[in-house]
Structures are given as structure tokens and as C-alpha cells.
Amino acid sequence: MTTPVLSVRDLCVEFRTRDGIVKAVQDVTFEVEAGATLAILGESGSGKSVTAQTVMNLIESPPGRVAGGQILFEGRDLLTMSPEERRKVSAEGIAMVFQDSLSALNPVYTVGEQIAELLRVRRGMKRKDAWNRAVELIARVRIPAAADRAKDYPHQFSGGMRQRIMIALAIALDPKVLIADEPTTALDVTVQAQIMDLLVQLQRETGMALVLITHDLGVVAEVADQIAVMYAGRVVERGTIFDLYERTAHPYTRGLLRSMPRPDRDDDTLWAIPGSPPNLLDLGPGCAFRSRCDAAIDLCSIERPEPLPVIVGDPRVSACHRREEVLSGRA
Amino acid sequence: MDEREVVLTVDALTKHFPVRGARFGREGKVVRALDGVSFELRKGETLGIVGESGCGKSTLARTIVGLETPTSGAVRFRGADLHGLRGRERDDMRRRVQIVLQDPYSSLNPRRTVQETLLQPFQIHPDVVPRAKRLPRVKELVELVGLNPDHLDRYPFQFSGGQRQRIGIARALALSPEVIVCDEPVSALDVSVQAQVVNLLQRLQRELGLAYVFIAHDLSVVRHISDRIGVMYLGKVAELGERGLVYDSPAHPYTDALLAAVPIPDPAARGVERALLAGDPPSPVNPPSGCRFRTRCTRAQDICAVEEPILHSIEPLGARDVACHFPLIPENTLAR
């Protein structure tokens, strides 16, 4: 068993709003090893992006606040470091790719300048060397005519090409962990497939860990080793991709997988999870999914289920009172 | 062959947008967003339209319902040219063809209650429902789409995304249309809510005999809901035919590449090599000569740069038309 390069334990993040405190992330635990891919799957408001932003220290405070937990990078807790130390450790070790590449890049500098600047500041490279390295990186993300394209501004690239530039920027400092927050959501399926292929190849070449934040069950199935499913700020189920797709131990994951249109069975009606995601201001006691759950029992509205292993010794964890029955198909 | 009557005919529809900077008296550049699209839609049928962004599918939607005026070509509802009619006749025809938009957040007026939003179609078309019967009709509509009639005086912000899309659907249904153009109706919704809205659209189709033009970039949703599929590339139809044929044995190399890019939601299917389409679509301002797909096509030959392939049916390929000089013909169909 290798030690995880990134390990998040019991992370809690809150936001103070006019209407009260929103507990956006609660007791979130996951880890990812070098060379492995963890997918964090969730809908909007599930807390998946806030989790990623907290790891990257991008939460604005106030209104945001880390209310508890640890973020261990190579065994050291980022949350207890001094701001300077954390900045240094995360800048070198953890990089992030965002969904919206147009607003994540600076519109008034060429893409080559932006990558070169990072190398000059962080690596102390000379102007010329930094530029050459930037061109290399642009070629590495498979953009044709890299030396010329380095002189272009972000708006001169198509969405897919710009996302490649974001990836070049992210891998410039050889990070140990790459967090990709919905990297292909705004892209066409054809371009999405290219970008996912590129991420997987780069991961193979560099051995970095990949944390993929997404709502797309198809993308997850193609690249992830481990998956953590989030709902209303909590991880409701966690395990290996093969285990979860074969059989789930949480009714929410099960509902998501069942609601996908499947060409192999031409059902007339799709399975649909009733209702809509809950308001995070008003979760109440018990399980946040209970009102939409087809397996809910009285206990679910009284006591919140803790994430526990379904089978002793099995890495799969489910936060459901009826996890064993759900897994075995009895609920 | 399908016996149902044709309700909507799209005939050689073309829409060109001038590129900014073009002036009078000078040959301005144009974006060829739609370049000769034709199809028929029958009563109760769903035609799915797929393609990458920029292929013209949203322009198609907007032109069909009259939000854009075509550069040439026609949209006919039961034989009447929707863009050629004027006055009352036009209004009467137009109400039969409605649209559901993608974003339920920006397509509803935030300052109108649900009731006000749903009453508006009757104010624009006052002859359809007499004044006294409008409110009962609004209640009926709200129930039809699965919303609570007690919530009529609420504002859009008080609803979730899925509920707002239901309001958008109720609005489209208000004037009893026969055709609804759905432009990415579930793309902005959460995964767990998408299935609800797809099911609602299908139920309404069964109950009301609606015909849909269903535009979406999610190929599995389109497959689920459609009877026939049209694949668009750079303003043209590349392939058009029965769902099963187009999805299971695509004949146009573009359809094939597009389908290959769809991730399979099953980790056991991993590791299968797929032929990925390289690059992005070319600019619709200056599309390639001949076949527009040839610059990304693995089967392209010299003729593809010279002669534009016409959408036509190919005998062994069944109920489907293809615009390709070298279509993929599955071996089993040849053997038959």
C-alpha cells in the first residue's frame, strides 16, 4: 500500500450568508495515490467544487471558512502551515484546471508569456529559457505549431485548445496532484474526448495523481480508479470505480446510474429520482437524501447515517442506514 | 413507411449572418450558420438534431419558430409558409410551433409570477382562449407539467431548475401547439433532474400528439427520445435517418466519429481503442470546398474537395439519407 499523495480528512467548509450559515462541505474524506485518478462526482451544490477550491486555498474568507478537518499533502497538513509555507508547498505540488478557461487566463498577455512568467517566478528561469520551456509545454499538450501559437492571446484559441493551454500551465511546475474541476463540461463531446485522452496520457507520463471533479458519469467510467459521490455537502459513497458501477451501496448513486439513458436497453421511460436537491440552509436532522429516496425508513429522518464500510475490510464506504440491503439488492 | 401526416416541412433552409465589419456595396463575409437544411416532421414524431457547437443547430431552432428570418428557403407548417404569411394568418400558424429554451434561469422573466408568465401567450393571441377561461387553462397547464397549482403566484427564483423548465414547457404548451422545438431543454439541469424532464416531454407527446424537434449535444438523451436523428455539420445535414440505423451503424464518417467520442458509462468497456476526431470544426465563415467534413475525415479522397456530396438515400442503408461520397456500409447490410 503506497501512501496517498493527497489525503483529505473530515473537511468542513462553511459560508456565512444573509440567510444563515451554509455548510457547503461536511466531513469530507478521501485520498488519492500517485498515478491514480479519483473522481468526485456530484451535482451543482453538492460541494464538489468547494472541496477542490478549499484544497487550492481559493475560498474567500469571509464569507467562507474552513470549519474543521485536515488536508494532507505528502503527509503534511496544509491547513496548519503558515500562509507563506502553504503557498510554496501548494504552488509546487498541486495544480488546478478550471472549467472556464477563458476567464482563468489573462486576456492581455500571450499564452506563452503567462506560462513563462510562472516559470520565471517559481523556478527563477531566465527570460529566454522560460520562453523556450513554455513552447515545449505547449507542444506537450499537443498544440500544433507551438512556437507560433505561444505568441497568441487566449481569445485566439478555440475552447478545446484553450483548455490545453490551461493544462500546459498546470503541469508547468511538475505537480504531484492535478485537480481538474469540470475540465470538459463546456466542450463538445469530440473535444471532450481529446482533452480526457490528453489528461490520461500526461498522467501516465508524469505519474501525477488526478482529482477529477465532474457530474458526468460517462467520463468518470472512462478514467477514474476511485470515486467519491457527493450529495448536499457530504460524501455519500466512496469506493473503486468497478465496485460502484457494478453495484452501488447508496440509493443516490443507484438512482444516478439508473437515470442515465442506456442504449443497450431501449426503455420507454427513464428511471428518474423524484424531487430536486435540498436547500443547504435547511437540511434538518437525518439523511439529506431521505425525501427523494426510495429506500428511506423512519430512522432516516431522525439519525444521519455515518459513512461506514459496507463489508468489513472492504474499501467501499456508504452513508446509508440500509447500505447492506441496498448493496445486496434487498432495498 | 410512416403513415402519419407531415406537420412541419423545413425546405432548403439557409441563414447567413453578416460578419461584423461588412459594409454596403462591398461583398461582406457571412457566417453560413445554416446552408440548405431540409427535413420533414410528422405528427407525434421526434426528430433529434445533434452536432458540435457551431454546426447551426440552435440557429435552426430559432429560424423554425421565427426568431430569425431565413436568408432563403422556407419553413412550412401544414403547407403554410411561416415566414411568408402576414397578419392574422401568420399569428395563427405561428402559435402552432413553439419553443422550449435551454436555460430556465434566463428564459423566464424574474419579475413575473408563474401566472403572469403563463397568461402572456393568451394576451398575445387573444382569440385562442376567451378571457374568462384563461385562468382555469393556466391551472390546467401547471398541473399538466406536474407543478403545484397553489404556487401560481410565486416568482421564478422560488423554483428549482427542473421546476423552472417545467414552467417553460407549460408556457410552450399554452397555445396548444402541434410542434415544439426543444433547444437543449435538459442541458442546464442537474443530472438527477434531467430524467424527470425527459419523461415529462415524452408523456406530453403521448397525451397531446406533439411533434418535437429535439436539439441537444447529449447524444444518449437524443437517442433515448428520438424516432429519427439528423446529424449536422457546419450548417448542413450530414446524415438523417431512423434512430437505430444512425446510432448502430452510422454511414457518415462524421456520425461515426461523433458517436465514438461519447464516453461509455461502464468501466468494463474501458481500453477499447477509439478513433478520435482531431481538431475543431473549421470556420463557418470560410467552409472547406466540396464536402465540409473532408478536412477532418479519414476517408476523404480527391473528389471530396471538388464535389459537394448531396444528401441522398443509399439502397443498402435502409431508411436514411447520407451526404457522403464514401459512406460506411456495414458488411452485414451488404451480405443481405
Option in B195, B196, B265 nearest A218 (CB):
B265
Residue keyed to cell 442515465: A260
Q: Which of A220, A236, A270 to mutate to test the interface with B (most CBs of B within 10 A)?
A: A270
Which pLDDT score is estimated for B24? 57
Computed over every residue of chain B, the mean pLDDT equals: 89
**Are B52 and A256 within 8 A, CB to CB?**
no
Which of B234, B112, B125 minimizes the C-alpha distance to B177?
A: B125
CB pairs under 8 A between A and B: 121
**Are B276 and A190 within 8 A, CB to CB?**
yes
Closest approach of B80 to chain A, Cα-based (Å)? 33
Closest approach of A314 to chain B, Cα-based (Å)? 19
Q: What are phi and psi of A223, to 5 degrees?
A: -120, -25
Per CB-CB distance under 8 Å, the chain B contacts of A217 are 191, 265
B236 touches chain A (CB under 8 A): no
Judge contact between A258 and A295, C-beta under 8 A: no
Which pLDDT score is estimated for B26? 56
**Are B265 and A217 within 8 A, CB to CB?**
yes
> Distance between CA B119 and CA B136 in Å, rounded?
11
Which pLDDT score is estimated for B335? 40
A191 touches chain B (CB under 8 A): yes
Option in A190, A221, A292 nearest B257 (CB):
A190
Which pLDDT score is estimated for A265? 63
Per CB-CB distance under 8 Å, the chain B contacts of A194 are 276-278
Average pLDDT per consecutive 10 residues, chain A (331 residues; last block may be shorter): 87 92 94 95 90 93 91 94 92 90 89 96 94 96 93 92 94 95 86 91 95 92 94 95 92 91 71 86 89 93 93 89 92 81
ipTM topping 0.90:
no
Judge contact between B185 and B165, C-beta under 8 A: yes
Which pLDDT score is estimated for B334? 47
Judge contact between B66 and B82, C-beta under 8 A: yes
Option in A241, A256, A259 nearest B267 (CB):
A241
Which pLDDT score is estimated for B22? 55
> Distance between CA A142 and CA A139 in Å, rounded?
5
**Are A190 and B221 within 8 A, CB to CB?**
no
pLDDT in tens, A25-81: 999 999 999 999 999 999 888 999 999 999 999 998 888 999 999 999 999 999 999
For A214, which residue in chain B has the nearest alpha carbon?
A: B191
The string of DSSP letters for B260-316 reads HTSPPS-GGGTT----PPPS-PPPTTSPPSSSTTGGG-SS--HHHHHSPPP-EE-GG
For A276, which residue in chain B has the nearest alpha carbon?
A: B193
Residues in chain A: 331
Computed over every residue of chain A, the mean pLDDT equals: 91
Counting residues of chain A whose pLDDT is more than 90, the rounded percentage is: 73
**Are A188 and B194 within 8 A, CB to CB?**
no
Residue B256 parent element (H or E): helix B253-260
Option in B192, B223, B261 nearest A256 (CB):
B192
B191 touches chain A (CB under 8 A): yes
> Distance between CA B107 and CA B147 in Å, rounded?
18
**Are B190 and A270 within 8 A, CB to CB?**
no
**Residues 266-305, chain A, touching B (beta carbon < 8 A):** 267-274, 276-277, 292
B219 touches chain A (CB under 8 A): yes
Per CB-CB distance under 8 Å, the chain A contacts of B217 are 188-189
Q: Which residues pair with A210 in a beta bridge?
A: A37, A178
> Residue B68 to residues B24, B58, B65, B118: CA-CA distances in angstroms?
21, 11, 8, 23
Q: What angle do CA B217, A231, A229 make, to 5 degrees?
A: 75
The reported pTM is 0.88
**Are B53 and A188 within 8 A, CB to CB?**
yes
Task: List per-residue pLDDT tens for chain B, 336 residues long.
Answer: 567 899 999 999 999 998 876 565 556 788 899 999 999 999 999 999 999 888 999 999 999 999 999 999 999 999 999 988 888 888 888 899 999 998 888 889 999 999 999 999 999 999 889 999 999 999 999 999 999 999 999 999 888 888 999 999 999 999 999 999 999 999 888 888 899 999 999 999 999 999 999 999 889 899 999 999 999 999 999 999 999 999 999 999 999 999 988 888 888 887 777 777 877 788 888 899 999 999 999 899 999 999 999 999 887 778 899 999 999 987 655 443
> Distance between CA A166 and CA B216 in Å, rounded?
27
Q: Which of B52, B55, B190 to mutate to test the interface with A (most CBs of A within 10 A)?
A: B190
